[in-house]
């Protein structure tokens, strides 16, 4: 567990996968011999030439609320375009309970963006229907993101299989009246606000938490791997607006170096989070000394 002032933060693991190194077009295997690129075994598997990739949520407990940031891929979902996320069966909810939260305890679900591996546990199948997993929660999502993903709006020309994550994991939330559509700049609660970080996804939002003079910044997929701290111009193949993703990543690295905030991405390997400091004209990643 991580503590930021009066706020407790826990990581809720769904799965850990090995992502082929081709996720970064500029990667070359000989770079694995470079000692300072955060390529330890928690981040990079040399024998398989792949990057260790966690898929998890962040549970944020404040004195007033329980907040879940991103919801992974979900169990039992039909994913013909993403077989590794298809019909999964993980003990995600049991891990959430072990961290001290029943699904009914969650007050807010904040979705940094609406990619397949960030929305899945929004819903679960009950009596053949996708229903909200967190029945008492308000689900916060960005307007830009919703409009791009909704097959009745910006996604109307996409093939049906590409729209399944929205249809089974986002639309039921909207239909149930549990969605709060935001611009991505709002204050959500005392000490918690949203920060636009577009590029990887059109409406992606970071979540900033401040308490007791400390700060945590949940950055979604601004970075997939610590190596991007050293190579801010590197995008993953999943970044939708490649140029904007680079601009946003540099802004976040500058912000993190200036403030000393704790960065909490969604896909880094253990210890899953850390801080950034300047190193000459570049940056250095300092893993957290607390493994959530």
CATH classification of 2-287, choosing from 3.30.70.260, 3.20.20.70, 3.60.15.10, 3.20.20.140?
3.60.15.10
Q: For the whole model, what pTM was predicted?
A: 0.96
Largest Cα–Cα distance of the chain, in whole Å?
58
Q: What integer is the mean pLDDT of 49-62?
A: 97
- The pLDDT assigned to 150 comes to 95
Contacts of residue 175, Cβ cutoff 8 Å, sequence gap at least 6? none
Residue 291's pLDDT is 60
Q: How far apart (Å, rounded) are the C-alpha atoms in residues 212 and 185? A: 22
Q: Categorise residue 105: left if φ over 0, alpha if ψ from -120 to 50, beta otherwise.
A: alpha
Res 191 pLDDT > 70: yes
Give the residue extent of every domain in the chain.
2-287
Over the stretch 31-51, which tens digit does the pLDDT of each residue have?
988 877 778 889 999 999 999
Distance CA(290)–CA(292), nearest Å, equals 6
How much of the chain, in percent, has pLDDT values that exceed 90?
A: 91
Tokens standing for 190? 């005392």
DSSP code string of 123-166: EEEETTEEEESSTTPEEEEEHHHHHHH-TTTTTTTS-GGGGHHH
> Of 68, 18, 74, whose CA–CA distance to 46 is shortest?
18
């Amino acid at each position: 567990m991580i503590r930021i002032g009066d706020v407790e933060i826990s990581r809720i693991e769904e799965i850990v996968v090995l992502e082929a190194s081709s996720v970064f077009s500029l990667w070359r295997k000989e770079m694995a011999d470079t000692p300072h690129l955060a390529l330890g075994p928690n981040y990079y598997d040399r024998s398989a030439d792949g990057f260790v990739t966690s898929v998890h949520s962040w549970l944020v407990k404040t004195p007033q609320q329980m907040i879940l940031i991103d919801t992974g891929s979900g169990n039992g979902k039909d994913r013909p375009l993403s077989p590794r996320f298809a019909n999964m069966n993980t003990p995600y909810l049991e891990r959430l309970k072990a961290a001290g939260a029943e699904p009914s305890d969650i007050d807010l679900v904040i979705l940094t963006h609406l990619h397949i591996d960030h929305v899945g546990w929004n819903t679960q199948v009950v009596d053949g229907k996708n229903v909200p997993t967190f029945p008492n929660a308000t689900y916060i999502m960005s307007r830009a993101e919703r409009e791009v993903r909704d097959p009745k709006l910006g996604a109307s020309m996409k093939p049906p299989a590409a729209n399944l994550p929205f249809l089974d994991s986002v639309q039921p939330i909207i239909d149930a009246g549990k969605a709060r559509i935001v611009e991505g700049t709002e204050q959500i609660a005392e000490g918690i606000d949203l920060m636009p970080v577009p590029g990887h996804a059109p409406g992606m939002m970071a979540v900033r938490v401040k308490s007791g003079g400390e700060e945590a910044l949940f950055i979604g997929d601004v970075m997939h791997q610590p190596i991007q701290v050293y190579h801010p111009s590197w995008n993953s193949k999943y970044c939708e607006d490649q140029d904007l993703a680079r601009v946003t990543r540099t802004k976040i690295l500058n912000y993190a170096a200036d403030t000393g905030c704790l960065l909490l991405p969604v896909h880094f390997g253990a210890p899953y989070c850390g801080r950034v400091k300047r190193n000459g004209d570049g940056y250095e990643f300092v893993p957290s000394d607390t493994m959530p």
